[in-house]
Amino acid sequence: MNHNPPQITQLNVGYYLDNLPEINGDEIVYSGMSMYPTFIDGDKVIFDRFSQIKHGDVIVYPEPGGHRYIIHRVIEIQGEQVQTAGDNNRSPDSYSIDRQSIIGKVIRKRRFDVSSSVRGEIWGRIYFRYRVSIHRRILESITFGKPLYELLVRGAILGKLFAPFLDIRQVVLIKDGKTEIRLFLNNHYVGVRKGVDQPWSIRAPFRIFIDPDKLPAYRDVIREALEEELSSMRNTPDDRKLGVTQEN
């Protein structure tokens, strides 16, 4: 089982409308849970400013009357008005946006060093329509097989068996002044630890691969991540700037 050095991601939030940062280029950093599992905190979102927007696409736009950029999916288009919703939200957004205010269509995302496409149009419509039933089926299957699952969890049996193929990463996330450690398994977000006095919360079914008692200590991960960040800053030119945005 491969343990990578921890990384640190800082998401700056709270940009006000009169100070909304201009997006330079075609990439921003995602933050929030409304588009989970399509996006997670720290994903780099690549968009195309010139693509035609269609039902099912994921788009970037300024929140109407707000102070942040939003990344949500198009669920309806009526003339020049576009209705959106988050993949992880049960209800559509309470507003519609003007087509002209859309910054771009999301086409790819990058998580760590892996880039993947973001499905839109017909595939986006299918996913959004059936996402709730898909998630429910997954939960039901886990509940039905709970005795077997708990047996496999003890000692992370499959983790030992498939150790050479498992790539574990820990990311220190600083958000709203709070620090937590996100756990990734082969590029999938699988768990979180929100403080030194808090236990690991690892999502099913990934717990069968990971024994939390074998993970590095909380303070050690934070310290190593900060040391890596300071080292990176020393080797970064002073004129380099990193722009991040926030999505709710």
Residues 66-116 pLDDT 10s:
778 899 999 999 999 999 999 888 889 999 999 999 999 999 999 877 889
Indicate if the pLDDT at residue 201 is higher than 50.
yes
pLDDT at residue 9, rounded to an integer? 47
Average pLDDT, the chain: 78
C-alpha torsion sign, points 94, 100, 103, 107: positive
pLDDT at residue 212, rounded to an integer? 86
Indicate if the pLDDT at residue 1 is higher than 70.
no
User: Cβ atoms within 10 A of the Cβ of 173, count?
Assistant: 21
Q: What is the pLDDT of residues 153-180, one digit of tens each?
A: 776 677 777 777 888 888 888 777 788 8
In degrees rounded to 5, what are phi and psi of residue 238?
-65, -30
Indicate if the pLDDT at residue 185 is higher than 50.
yes
186: left (phi over 0), alpha (psi -120 to 50) or beta: left
Domains of the chain, residue spans: 20-135, 146-234
Q: What is the pLDDT of residues 21-62, one digit of tens each?
A: 555 568 888 888 889 888 988 888 999 988 899 999 999 999
pTM higher than 0.75: no
Tell me, rounded to whole angstroms, the distance of Cα 136 from its chain centroid.
21
**How much is the average pLDDT of 199-217?**
85
**20-135: what fold?**
Umud Fragment, subunit A (2.10.109)
* The two three-digit tokens of residue 39, written as one number: 């996006």
pLDDT at residue 10, rounded to an integer? 44
Between the alpha carbon of residue 182 and those of residues 30, 68, 89, 137, 244, the distances in Å are 15, 24, 22, 26, 18
pLDDT at residue 239, rounded to an integer? 44
